[in-house]
């Protein structure tokens, strides 16, 4: 395969330039398409373990790809037993008979299932095939067609499985599990001031997604805490679906930086059996999550007698840990943290970790950056620090659990192990008094760890960019009890695939070390010169650089979104670079872009690329491109406008090009509160807006946006377009009808991105109307 592809390229050199340009990319496009994540994964087996837990909170099952197709595996940690959950062949035969259509054992037509009787009956499963539901007996392997059940995602089950809470008609309701009769728990909810839910977005409406009440049940299942968000008076955004004869209008509340009215949240304590509720008497707080991407504000004491919650101000510059007694009385402030920039509850907001936990004695394990690094503290019931549990020039990423009986705290962290990649996560435990800190996952790799809810075990999938995943079941002391999966990539290697290469470089200051990953085409030839493409996301609190094996699906991966290996196959060197504003560092380093989002870490990218160019003569720094999505769309265009002599070509999708038009909780966190200069007619956000520098454009710029993007409104791109037109600049624009924010797996967007770089950076001619097959649904 490699030899034939190289032969085609060699022959192209002797053909006329026009013919060579027409032929070589066609071969490359086919090759690149093989490396799209959903295609490459077909050549990988055993790549991950994403556990789904049984009702006993200890056993779990997972779906895994094998050479025989997808299989479902059940694991019993107490015994270390790992076994198929069912016989694929017999289940496929039973489904074939019931559905009156062929079902193959290696391609069962479902990825998830539910045990029957709301999870109580493990001898029967409920699956959906197409639009029909079936119940299958696992003893005799007989399947029968079932009535289609309503979407159960809207029901939030209590810990004892006796109650289900749900939102309806702006209010909160509860019912006995499986019952039809419901009890209305609140009665004064209205539109724009509802319990447990906010206004439905256009995406929710178009995709018919359910409203899921944001409630936190007490351990005794008698009470719950529910937020009530006041959106009244918040100004609205508008979108139009224009693919029908009569366009459809959508509007929704959307607060911007500097708005006088933003969504405000109160918390209510609800007694479910009694059907009563009361507001927790603390000032309403802006809907500006301490965790940035979500997470409950509240947690319960183990005895269900106290509610703990975080309260932030607008920014947020300050967070308070509040505690309220169920018996009554106003909440009191237990602890607080503040920062000149902003406070966070996690240094990696993609993992959604809630890094604090109440203990039985009223003490709390608390996450804080008060010493300049993300660490854990053991607070007394009075809020005073009893023990700093972790300390040093490294960061805690997630609090996974506390075993109070054993006196151990379990967490993941980065940067502690000398000689290891600073972005790798490792699992640790430490005593409640801060002693005996122990590394539990010694393998030199990034560890994606899931705590088994019972607290005695962990599921650990570890890998590196150049090392396939291994998934193991660990005991609480780190011992490997069972190897669950070891990825086999032999079929992937047979396609010519090559892993990314980790590199080190110095940041703009010439001192601070930064890292990245380089992707080369599979037929890389060091005697040739390759154009370079930078795949960028600026942070903050999100890293664009792969740590885990590609194309692993272990967690959110910006690399997967960018399909970096596929792009490299077209004849590019593709880079991902961890700039100083990215996560995993001291607070003073990762917040250096605070108030200056227009920096985007681009000076660090330029510095790193220049250093690599000196080291590798096959990198052609006269041809450097850049691309990115969302924040990466913003920063890729920014790079073209601020460094027009360095970056020559950019593709920017769904960019938040002016954060004055983006969600206030993002801009006010990372750029600061909007400050207007009425005398000069400007503000502190203008220097970070791309349209301010539209006149600087020299290279080739391709802007892409979905016209139904309710996250980053298309006004971001259109306002930039307006500025570029006024500056008399040439650029390309693609508006995708009825497309929302998720464009990274859109086949047409991928193909047009390839076309743009091939024609404007590689100097080739893109094949006519190449069709990329979409990912499987």
Is residue 300 included in any domain, yes or no? no
pLDDT of 56 above 80: yes
How confident is the model at residue 66, as a pLDDT? 92
How confident is the model at residue 554, as a pLDDT? 37
| Averaged pLDDT score across all residues of the chain | 91
Is residue 645 included in any domain, yes or no? yes
Convert the pLDDT of each residue in 377-436 to its tens digit: 999 999 999 999 999 999 999 999 999 999 999 999 999 999 999 999 999 999 999 999
How confident is the model at residue 723, as a pLDDT? 99
How confident is the model at residue 18, as a pLDDT? 39
How confident is the model at residue 135, as a pLDDT? 94
CA 517/CA 623 separation, integer angstroms: 19
Last residue of a domain, one of 146, 179, 203: 146
Task: Tell me which residue of 601, 774, 673 sits closest to 255, measured CA to CA.
Answer: 673
- How many domains would you assign to the chain? 2
Tokens of residue 697, six digits: 């454009």
Task: Tell me which residue of 70, 34, 36, 77 sits closest to 54, measured CA to CA.
Answer: 77
- Burial (CB < 10 A; 0-12, 13-18, 19+), residue 627, is buried
Question: Which of 476-480, 552-556, 689-693 comes out lowest in average pLDDT?
Answer: 552-556
Strands (E), 572-632: 573-577, 619-629
Residue 124: alpha-carbon gap to chain centroid: 33
Long-range pairs, 119-126, Cβ under 8 A, ≥24 = 119/54, 119/55, 119/161, 120/55, 122/54, 125/86
Angle, CA 598 vertex, CA 596 and CA 602 arms, to 5°: 110
Is residue 411 included in any domain, yes or no? no
How confident is the model at residue 409, as a pLDDT? 98
The mean pLDDT of 453-464, rounded to a whole number, is 94
* Domain residue limits at 128: 52-146
The mean pLDDT of 343-352, rounded to a whole number, is 73
Is residue 588 included in any domain, yes or no? yes
How confident is the model at residue 769, as a pLDDT? 85
Q: Are 629 and 744 within 8 A, CB to CB?
A: yes
pLDDT of 84 above 50: yes
Convert the pLDDT of each residue in 264-278 to its tens digit: 999 999 999 999 999
- Cis-peptide, bond into residue 700, ω within 30° of zero: no
Is residue 72 included in any domain, yes or no? yes
Is residue 718 included in any domain, yes or no? yes
pLDDT of 292 above 60: no
How far is CA 535 from each of CA 323, 518, 560, 608, 696, rounded to the nearest angstrom? 44, 10, 11, 13, 21
348 vs 529, residue with greater confidence: 529
CA 553/CA 45 separation, integer angstroms: 12
The mean pLDDT of 624-630, rounded to a whole number, is 97
How confident is the model at residue 353, as a pLDDT? 66
How confident is the model at residue 31, as a pLDDT? 94
Question: Which of 22-26, 369-373, 561-565, 753-757 comes out lowest in average pLDDT?
Answer: 22-26
Element (H, E) at 609: helix 602-615
Convert the pLDDT of each residue in 171-189 to its tens digit: 999 999 878 899 999 999 9
CA 215/CA 523 separation, integer angstroms: 53
511 three-state secondary structure: coil
pLDDT of 120 above 90: no
Convert the pLDDT of each residue in 356-386 to its tens digit: 999 999 999 999 999 999 999 999 999 999 9
Is residue 414 included in any domain, yes or no? no
Dihedral sign (CA 718, 723, 728, 730): negative
Task: Tell me which residue of 338, 527, 542, 336 sits closest to 423, measured CA to CA.
Answer: 542
Strands (E), 19-98: 52-53, 60-66, 69-76, 81-84
Last residue of a domain, one of 101, 129, 146: 146
510 three-state secondary structure: coil
Convert the pLDDT of each residue in 2-12 to its tens digit: 444 443 444 34
Convert the pLDDT of each residue in 722-761 to its tens digit: 999 999 999 999 999 999 999 988 999 999 999 999 999 9
CATH number of the domain that residue 581 is part of: 3.40.50.1820
pLDDT of 289 above 90: no
Is residue 67 included in any domain, yes or no? yes
How confident is the model at residue 291, as a pLDDT? 52
Last residue of a domain, one of 146, 170, 195: 146
Convert the pLDDT of each residue in 504-542 to its tens digit: 999 999 999 999 999 999 999 999 999 999 999 997 777
The mean pLDDT of 196-209, rounded to a whole number, is 93
DSSP character at residue 663: -
Residue with tokens 């893109």: 766
């Amino acid at each position: 395969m490699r030899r034939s592809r190289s032969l085609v390229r060699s022959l192209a050199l002797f053909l006329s330039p026009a013919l060579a340009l027409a032929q070589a990319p066609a071969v490359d496009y086919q090759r690149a398409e093989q490396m799209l994540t959903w295609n490459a994964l077909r050549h990988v087996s055993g790549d991950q373990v994403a556990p789904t837990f049984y009702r006993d909170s200890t056993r779990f099952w997972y779906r895994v790809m094998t050479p025989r197709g997808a299989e479902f595996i059940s694991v019993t940690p107490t015994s270390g037993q790992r076994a198929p959950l069912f016989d694929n062949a017999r289940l496929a035969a039973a489904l074939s008979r019931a559905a009156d259509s062929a079902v193959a054992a290696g391609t069962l037509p479902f990825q998830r299932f539910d045990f029957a009787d709301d999870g109580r009956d493990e001898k029967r499963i409920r699956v959906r095939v197409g639009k029909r539901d079936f119940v299958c007996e696992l003893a005799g392997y007989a399947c029968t067609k079932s009535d289609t059940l309503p979407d159960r995602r809207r029901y939030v089950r209590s810990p004892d499985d006796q109650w289900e809470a749900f939102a309806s008609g702006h209010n909160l309701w509860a019912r006995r599990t499986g019952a039809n009769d419901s009890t209305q728990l609140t009665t004064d909810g209205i539109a724009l001031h509802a319990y447990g839910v906010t206004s439905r977005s256009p995406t929710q409406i178009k995709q018919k997604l359910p409203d899921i009440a944001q409630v936190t049940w007490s351990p005794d299942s008698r009470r719950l805490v529910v937020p009530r968000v006041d959106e009244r008076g918040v100004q609205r955004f508008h979108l139009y679906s224009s693919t029908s004869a009569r366009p459809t209008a959508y509007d929704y509340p959307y607060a911007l930086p500097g708005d006088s009215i933003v969504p405000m949240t109160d918390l209510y304590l609800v007694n479910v059996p009694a059907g009563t509720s009361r507001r927790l008497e603390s000032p309403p707080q802006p809907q500006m999550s301490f965790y940035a991407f979500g997470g409950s504000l509240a947690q319960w004491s183990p005895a269900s007698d106290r509610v703990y919650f975080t309260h932030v101000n607008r920014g947020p510059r300050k967070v308070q840990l509040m505690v309220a007694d169920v018996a009554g009385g106003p909440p009191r402030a237990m602890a607080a943290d503040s920062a000149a920039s902003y406070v966070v509850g996690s240094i990696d907001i993609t993992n959604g970790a809630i890094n604090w936990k109440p203990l039985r004695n009223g003490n709390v394990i608390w996450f804080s950056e008060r010493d300049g690094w993300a660490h854990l503290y053991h607070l007394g019931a009075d809020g005073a620090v009893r023990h700093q549990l972790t300390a040093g020039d490294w960061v805690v990423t997630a609090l996974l659990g506390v075993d109070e009986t054993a006196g151990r705290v379990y967490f993941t962290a980065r940067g502690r192990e000398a000689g290891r990649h600073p972005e790798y996560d490792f699992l640790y435990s430490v005593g409640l008094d801060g002693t005996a800190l122990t590394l539990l996952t010694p393998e030199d790799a990034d560890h994606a760890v899931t705590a088994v809810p019972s607290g005695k075990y962990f599921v650990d999938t570890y890998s590196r960019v150049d090392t396939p995943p291994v998934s193991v079941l660990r005991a609480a002391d780190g011992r490997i009890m069972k190897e669950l999966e070891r990825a086999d990539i032999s079929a992937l290697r047979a396609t010519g695939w090559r892993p990314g290469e980790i590199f080190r470089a110095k940041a703009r200051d010439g001192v601070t070390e930064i890292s990245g990953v380089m992707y080369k085409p599979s037929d890389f030839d060091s005697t040739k010169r390759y154009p370079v493409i930078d795949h960028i996301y600026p942070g903050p609190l999100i890293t664009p650089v792969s740590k885990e094996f590609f194309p692993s699906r272990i967690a959110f991966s910006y690399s997967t979104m960018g399909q970096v290996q596929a792009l490299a196959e077209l004849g590019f060197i593709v880079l991902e670079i961890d700039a100083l504003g990215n996560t995993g560092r001291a607070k003073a380093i990762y917040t250096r872009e605070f108030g200056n989002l227009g920096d985007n870490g681009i000076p660090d990218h330029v510095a790193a690329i220049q250093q690599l160019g000196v080291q590798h003569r096959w990198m052609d720094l006269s041809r450097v491109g850049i691309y990115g999505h969302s924040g990466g769309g913003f920063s890729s265009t920014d790079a073209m406008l601020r460094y027009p002599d360095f970056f020559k070509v950019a593709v920017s999708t769904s960019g938040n090009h002016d954060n004055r038009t983006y969600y206030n909780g993002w801009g006010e966190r990372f750029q600061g509160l909007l400050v207007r200069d009425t005398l000069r007619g400007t503000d502190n956000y203008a220097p970070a807006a791309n349209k301010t520098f539209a006149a600087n454009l020299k290279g080739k710029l391709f802007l892409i946006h979905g016209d139904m993007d309710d996250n980053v409104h298309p006004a971001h791109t259109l306002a930039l377009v307006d500025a570029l037109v006024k500056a008399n600049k040439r650029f390309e624009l693609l508006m995708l009808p009825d497309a929302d924010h998720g464009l990274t797996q859109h086949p047409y967007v991928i193909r047009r991105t390839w076309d743009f770089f091939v024609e404007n950076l590689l100097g080739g001619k893109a094949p006519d109307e190449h069709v990329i097959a979409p990912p499987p649904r």
